[in-house]
Amino acid sequence: MAEIFSITLRSKHESMLKFDYAGQALPGASSILLVRKRDGGSWNFNCRSDGGGRFTIKGRGWEVFFKTCKTDDIVTLSIETGHDFYTISVH
């Protein structure tokens, strides 16, 4: 698995999450990411490239996922090598 980000959730992330990523695992424009949680559940996150390696995740899928978490949870998004889906874990 290739890690895309690991972020500590704050209440400001409820409606959107902005992060930096310099790799090739994310599309360069707006797209829908199929994201699976390790312990069950899946979401479709709206992901948009803001340019310069900056990305935004938002939309209904993100908001539903966020409600399953707590503030200060560490959320890690990775891509499964050789697959077209992403995995999210919460610690």
CA distance 50 to 73: 25
Helical (H) or strand (E) element with 55 = strand 54-58
Task: Record the pTM.
Answer: 0.90
E-strand ranges in the chain read 2-8, 16-20, 31-37, 42-51, 54-58, 74-79, 86-90
Spatial contact of 81 and 25, defined as CB atoms under 8 Å apart: no
pLDDT tens per residue, the chain (91 residues)?
A: 889 999 999 999 999 999 999 988 888 789 999 999 877 889 999 999 999 999 999 999 999 999 999 999 999 999 977 777 899 999 9
